[in-house]
Each structure stands twice: as C-alpha cells, then as structure tokens.
C-alpha cells in the first residue's frame, strides 16, 4: 500500500482518535498472572472509572468485550425470570439494546421513539404507572444515542421514575457520553452506568464496563437466572484472573490506565468544556451548511444536540455514502454513516475524545471539500462560522 502523507482524521463517534500516550503505554510485553503490576493497573482503572462516573460507593466490573457485552451483562445480572425492563426509545441504540434483551429471553416494554426528538419523560412515567404488577425491574436508558445524536435529560428521567413511585433501577448507557458530556451517577440517582473504552475514553476498542451501586448489587444477588461469564458475583475477586473470568486484556488495560491519566491531567471540567466548545463549532458549521436546504440537523431540539456526535440528514437524491468515500479516500477525513432508519439518509460527525480546534476545523473543511466534489449544495461559510465560534471561545 502506498503511504498517505500526514495524519488521517478519524471522526467516527467511536472508535475515536487514540492519543500517542495511550498507544505507547500499550506497547509492551504481557505480564504473568501473578505480577502485582497488573493488579495495580486494574485498581488504578477502577478508581479512575469511579471518579469519572462520579460515584462513591460503587463496584466496577470490566469485560473483555465491546459495549454490546456491557449491555448483555446488565440484562443477565438484573433481569430475573418473569421480569421486564422499560427501554425508552432514543433511536437505533435503544432499539438494539431492546432487541438484545429480548434475544436473551427477557420482556421489554418500550416507549415510542420520535425521530429527531429526545425521550419524553412523561412517556416513561406513564409506562411505569401502568406496571401495576411491578414486573419492570429496571429502566434501561441511553444517555446519548449515537445514531440520532440526541442526548437525553437524565435528571428528568430520574424525576419521572420517582413521580411514578416505581422501584425500578435506573440503568444508563453512557458509552457515547462519558468523558464528553456532564455525568454524575450518584447525584443523578443512577444505579448502573454502562460504558465502553473506544469513545470518550480514547482507547482502542475491546473493553466494556459497568459501575453498579448497592441497590443494583442487591437486585443482582436476588436474581435466580443462571449465568456464568457475565456474572457480577463471580467477578468480586482480588485476583486479576478471576476479576476477568479468565485472562485480562492486559495491553488494553495499560492503554486505558494511560487514557484516564490524560483525562484527569487535563481536568474533567476542562474536558467537558472542550467538548462543549468543539460541538458548538461543529453545530455552527452545520447550521450554515443547512441554508441551501440539502443538509439538515437530524436532532430538531438544539438543547438536546449531543456534544459527542452530530447526525446530518441529506435531502433525497443525495448519496451520503458516496460523499463519505470521497471524504475518507481523497481528503483523509473519516466520518460515519447513518444507522438504522438513517441508513443512506445521513452522515454523522464524531467530535469526541482526543480532539482540538485545529482537528475540528480540518474535519469540517474536509467535509466541505467532499460535498463540493459531490455537487451537494451547502451554505459556503460553514468553516468560517466554526472559526468565529472557536475565536469567541
């Protein structure tokens, strides 16, 4: 293969750009199972994740899996025979979690999904009120749905569960929002946070994790459904081999330890502020592009637009996949395609993780170049609007 000069811009909403510090930390020989250095790394990650999800008294369990594995472990541990979960419709990701839950033989109650809008907390309250037999053991909510690029109001969802007077656990998928959008497990009354390492955590894919509080641990302990690999109880061990139900993904763990170090070195508040600023710049560009009527925000509510990813719909007759190929192959900007109902109807810009203003401007300019090549009409001052936004700070 011929070498491509310079760096290639990765603007998918996961996997995201991996910082050199993380790559370097991974570049080493594996250790034997008893080496205390491995135990120290695992402990450092557990402490770091607890700090990141902002929970004092919670257990962390990690899996050599992707986010789907982390979904599976929540179902297996929390949902017993005859029980159900409520999954509010946020888009493709809530629906995928629901289908997986049903695939594991559990019953799912859904609230309707309105394309381009966040979850309506009233729907959640009504669905819980209707559950008079208390069969719903948990609400599985996606914080930021990476397909629709909407971020849901977790405080409002918590309030809806409380208003219904329902004892269901509040389980939140933070795969796409952690270390990008504000999140605080304890303060928001969340019982389980579900994450993965390849998005805001700036690491190569391959590690899923959950943070569970005492209430969730008690529900899991009462659940009689058979389970083994995904069982939380089995992983309450001191020895690294047992914690992972087998050999831990060591080199990935070294990378994640380094990534957490980078996040805390920058400071969580600054990480959150950086994502807010960069997403404002992206949104300013898209707002300008939309003036010609060929592209538009998928998320109709500006306040619900994600700081991690933005889904841009295209007018019928425009092929977003062809534009993506031009962006990637000719301009070295890799962006994502539409998912679920948006397949072939949208493209998505990932703007989370190890990114700075120059990278965001390069990404936006690369997309403008690709749209120009493809003859897609767009308001021409998009990059300029992003520059002005970044200049304002």
Q: Which residues bind to ligand PLP, rule: CB under 6 A?
A: 14, 66-68, 93, 142, 146, 173, 175-176, 196, 205
* Least distance between ligand PLP and beta carbon 335 (Å): 15
Q: Which residue has the tokens 């058979």?
A: 226
* Least distance between ligand PLP and beta carbon 342 (Å): 14
User: Which of residues 203 and 213 has its CB atom nearest to ligand PLP in the complex?
Assistant: 203
Query: Which ranges constitute the DSSP H helices of the chain?
Result: 20-26, 36-53, 67-78, 92-103, 121-129, 154-163, 214-222, 240-243, 250-266, 268-289, 320-329, 357-373, 382-392
* Least distance between ligand PLP and beta carbon 307 (Å): 13
- State the Cα–Cα distance between residues 17 and 13, nearest whole angstrom: 10
User: Which of residues 66 and 251 has its CB atom nearest to ligand PLP in the complex?
Assistant: 66
- State the Cα–Cα distance between residues 254 and 105, nearest whole angstrom: 36
- State the Cα–Cα distance between residues 258 and 251, nearest whole angstrom: 11
User: Which of residues 19 and 205 has its CB atom nearest to ligand PLP in the complex?
Assistant: 205
* Least distance between ligand PLP and beta carbon 113 (Å): 14
* Least distance between ligand PLP and beta carbon 175 (Å): 4
Name the closest residue to ligand PLP (Cβ): 67
- State the Cα–Cα distance between residues 140 and 138, nearest whole angstrom: 6
User: Which of residues 67 and 362 has its CB atom nearest to ligand PLP in the complex?
Assistant: 67
* Least distance between ligand PLP and beta carbon 36 (Å): 30
* Least distance between ligand PLP and beta carbon 20 (Å): 23
User: Which of residues 60 and 318 has its CB atom nearest to ligand PLP in the complex?
Assistant: 60
Q: Considering only CA atoms, which of 270, 80, 91 is closest in space to residue 173?
A: 91
* Least distance between ligand PLP and beta carbon 34 (Å): 30
φ/ψ bin of 297: left (φ > 0), alpha (ψ from -120 to 50), beta (otherwise): beta
What order do you get walking across the sheet with 107-110 strand by strand? 59-63, 208-212, 192-196, 169-173, 136-142, 84-87, 107-110
Residue 331: how many CB atoms within 10 A of its CB?
19
- State the Cα–Cα distance between residues 256 and 251, nearest whole angstrom: 9
User: Which of residues 14 and 362 has its CB atom nearest to ligand PLP in the complex?
Assistant: 14
DSSP 342: G
User: Which of residues 288 and 339 has its CB atom nearest to ligand PLP in the complex?
Assistant: 339
User: Which of residues 84 and 176 has its CB atom nearest to ligand PLP in the complex?
Assistant: 176
């Amino acid at each position: 293969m011929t070498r491509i000069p310079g760096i290639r811009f990765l603007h998918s909403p996961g996997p995201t750009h991996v910082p050199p510090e993380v790559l370097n930390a991974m570049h080493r020989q594996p250790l034997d199972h008893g080496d205390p250095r491995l135990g120290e790394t695992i402990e450092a990650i557990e402490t770091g994740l607890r700090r990141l999800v902002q929970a004092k008294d919670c257990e962390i369990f990690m899996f050599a899996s992707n986010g789907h594995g982390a979904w599976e472990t929540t179902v297996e541990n929390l949902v017993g025979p005859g029980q159900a979960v409520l999954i509010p419709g946020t888009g493709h990701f809530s629906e995928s979690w629901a289908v997986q839950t049903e695939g594991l033989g559990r019953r799912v109650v859904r609230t309707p999904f309105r394309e381009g809008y966040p979850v309506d907390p009233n729907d959640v309250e009504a669905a819980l009120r209707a559950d008079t037999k208390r069969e719903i053991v948990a609400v599985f909510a996606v914080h930021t749905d990476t397909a629709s690029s909407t971020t849901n109001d977790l405080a409002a969802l918590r309030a809806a569960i409380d208003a219904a007077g329902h004892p269901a656990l509040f389980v939140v998928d933070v795969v796409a929002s952690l270390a990008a959008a504000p999140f605080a497990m304890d303060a928001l009354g969340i019982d389980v946070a579900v994450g993965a390492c390849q998005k805001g955590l700036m690491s190569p894919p391959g590690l899923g994790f959950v943070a569970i509080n005492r209430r969730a641990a008690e529900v899991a302990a009462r659940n009689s459904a058979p389970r083994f690999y995904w069982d939380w109880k089995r992983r309450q061990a001191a020895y690294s081999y047992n914690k992972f139900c087998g050999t831990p993904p060591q080199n990935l763990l070294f990378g994640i330890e380094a990534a957490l170090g980078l996040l805390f070195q920058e400071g969580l508040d600054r990480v959150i502020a950086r994502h807010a600023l960069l997403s404002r710049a992206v949104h300013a560009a898209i707002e300008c592009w939309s003036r010609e009527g060929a592209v538009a925000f998928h998320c109709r509510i500006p306040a619900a637009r994600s700081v991690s990813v933005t889904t841009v719909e295209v007018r019928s007759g425009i092929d977003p996949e062809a534009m993506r190929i031009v962006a990637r192959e000719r301009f070295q900007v890799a962006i994502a395609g539409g998912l679920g109902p948006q397949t072939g109807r949208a493209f998505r810009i990932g703007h989370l993780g190890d990114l700075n203003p120059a990278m965001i401007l390069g990404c936006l300019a690369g997309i403008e170049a690709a749209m120009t090549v493809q003859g897609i009409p767009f308001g021409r001052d998009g990059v300029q609007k992003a520059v002005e936004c970044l200049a304002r700070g």
